[in-house]
């Protein structure tokens, strides 16, 4: 079943049911543009056999980035680097979707720029909280601008040759913040009840769909839950899926967690235990039962037997992230029946926030190695990798702040 095609609601087809899920890379060239390393990396994934490649975060506003090496695509951004990226990724027949996002309050304090949020509620990361900017509550004009920017970026992605976009409303980014009663404390039409908290996501979907052609896919990434007490719950996710059922959405990817609680790495803040593989399958099964569009789930899938189990449960697409940073040709190996084992060793430090940052640093290092034309970086030492990543981030931050000032 893994290698059977899937026809989406808009009539386009995924060649198979394996998707490369989004991963943060921090590999942007000056000006927040993709360069040769990006092209090489996506060429390797294209050759690897996945039916769908979803890019890592592409930000809709270059004044608000998740990190200093993040790609941004706006209405006036030169398209040539993006056309080369799309061409490299599409050359073996996969669909290629650009994940489009706004970080909201998840912006590093040392970067400058904007930290817009539904409410002026800062991230709670204990002694690490000061690493992030103090957020500013958005005005009605700010909200209108964000909706327009999502549509502008989607239109530009289509012009560049991508076959779809994935609107990022998970992992604590801006649209996810609006959905969360912990982050969204507004008392206007954008806050309070769940339909009000979901309003921004729905308006973004409508605006994006209005700017792209019918055959261009529009997907949404949604948390199955935030895994924080009092936060966005499984029942909330179910209701949001039912609201999205009324819109022309081609696929929903279900994940979970945020910077405050990295459930997407298999850990939760509210004490719930996630499976070691296919973290969010239980939630995805429930939501697939109410969704009118295909559902994809990502998180911890490393073996074909588990991937087949996911599909047998009613989920339509299997998302793979970390395993494809270790073996970019994993789908081809599965198709050939090779007994491939890929698993990144966990970083089980006492300081869970630092452990989460180190885990992401190791993933980025593997992706940079692949983009440079090498292997996936081999066995990495978490502390040494984290130190290298922090030094690199400092240099990229200096470059970004200089660019921002101009």
Taking each helix axis from N to C terminus, what angle separates 36-48 and 352-371, rounded to the nearest 10 degrees?
Answer: 90
Helix (H, G, I), strand (E, B) or coil at 311: helix
Report pLDDT digits (tens) over 22-45.
998 889 999 999 999 999 999 999
Query: Is residue 259 within 8 Å of residue 235, measured between CB atoms?
Result: no
Q: Which residues of 79-105 are buried (b: 16+ CB within 10 A; e: fewer)?
A: eebbebbbbbbbeeebbbbbbbbbbbb
What proportions of the chain, in percent to the nearest 5, are helix, strand and coil?
40, 15, 45
Query: Is residue 71 within 8 Å of residue 58, measured between CB atoms?
Result: yes
Angstrom distance (rounded) from CA 101 to CA 78: 19
Start-end of H helices in 188-317: 194-197, 199-211, 234-244, 281-288, 304-312
- Ranges of residues in the chain with a pLDDT under 70 are 225-228, 257-279, 376-379
Q: Which two tokens stand for residue 119?
A: 């409410």
Sequence ranges of the domains in the chain: 6-344
Phi, then psi, of 122 in degrees rounded to 5 = -75, 160
Closest among 256, 400, 375, 404 to 319, alpha carbons compared:
256
- Per-residue pLDDT at 234: 86
Cβ neighbours of 28 (radius 10 Å): 25
For domain 6-344, give the fold.
TIM Barrel (3.20.20)
Angstrom distance (rounded) from CA 262 to CA 363: 14
Q: What is the pTM of this model?
A: 0.92
Strands (E), 127-278: 136-137, 164-169, 217-223, 251-255
DSSP state letter for 227: -
């Amino acid at each position: 079943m893994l290698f059977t095609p899937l026809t989406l609601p808009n009539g386009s087809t995924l060649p198979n049911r394996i998707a490369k899920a989004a991963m943060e890379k921090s590999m942007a060239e000056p000006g927040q543009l993709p360069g040769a390393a990006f092209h090489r990396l996506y060429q390797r994934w294209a050759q690897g056999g996945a039916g769908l490649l979803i890019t890592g975060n592409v930000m809709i506003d270059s004044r608000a980035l998740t990190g200093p090496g993040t790609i941004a695509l706006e209405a006036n951004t030169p398209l040539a680097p993006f056309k080369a990226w799309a061409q490299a990724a599409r050359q073996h027949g996969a669909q290629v979707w650009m994940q489009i996002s706004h970080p909201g309050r998840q912006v590093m304090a040392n970067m400058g720029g904007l930290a817009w949020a539904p409410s002026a509620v800062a991230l709670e990361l204990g002694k690490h909280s000061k690493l992030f900017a103090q957020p500013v509550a958005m005005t009605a004009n700010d909200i209108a601008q964000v909706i327009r920017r999502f549509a502008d970026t989607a239109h530009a992605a289509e012009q560049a040759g991508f076959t779809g976009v994935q609107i990022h409303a998970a992992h604590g980014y801006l649209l996810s913040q609006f959905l969360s009663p912990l982050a969204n404390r507004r008392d206007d039409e954008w806050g309070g009840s769940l339909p009000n908290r979901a309003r921004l996501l729905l308006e973004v979907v409508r605006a994006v769909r209005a700017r792209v052609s019918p055959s261009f896919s529009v997907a949404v990434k949604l948390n199955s839950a935030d895994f924080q007490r009092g936060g966005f719950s499984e029942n909330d996710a179910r209701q949001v899926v039912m609201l999205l059922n009324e819109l022309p959405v081609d696929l929903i990817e279900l994940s979970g967690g945020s910077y405050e609680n990295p459930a997407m790495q298999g850990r939760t803040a509210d004490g719930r235990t996630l499976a070691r593989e296919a973290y969010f399958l239980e939630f995805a099964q429930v939501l697939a039962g109410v969704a009118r569009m295909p559902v994809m789930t990502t998180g911890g899938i490393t073996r074909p037997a588990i991937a087949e189990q996911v599909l047998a449960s009613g989920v339509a697409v299997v998302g793979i992230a970390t395993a494809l940073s270790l073996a970019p040709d994993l789908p081809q190996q599965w198709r050939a029946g090779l007994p491939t084992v890929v698993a990144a060793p966990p970083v089980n430090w006492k300081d869970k926030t630092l452990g989460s940052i180190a885990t992401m640093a190791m993933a980025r290092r593997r992706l940079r190695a692949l983009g440079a034309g090498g292997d996936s970086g081999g066995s990495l030492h978490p502390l040494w990798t984290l130190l290298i990543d922090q030094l690199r981030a400092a240099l990229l931050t200096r470059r970004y702040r200089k660019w921002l000032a101009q």
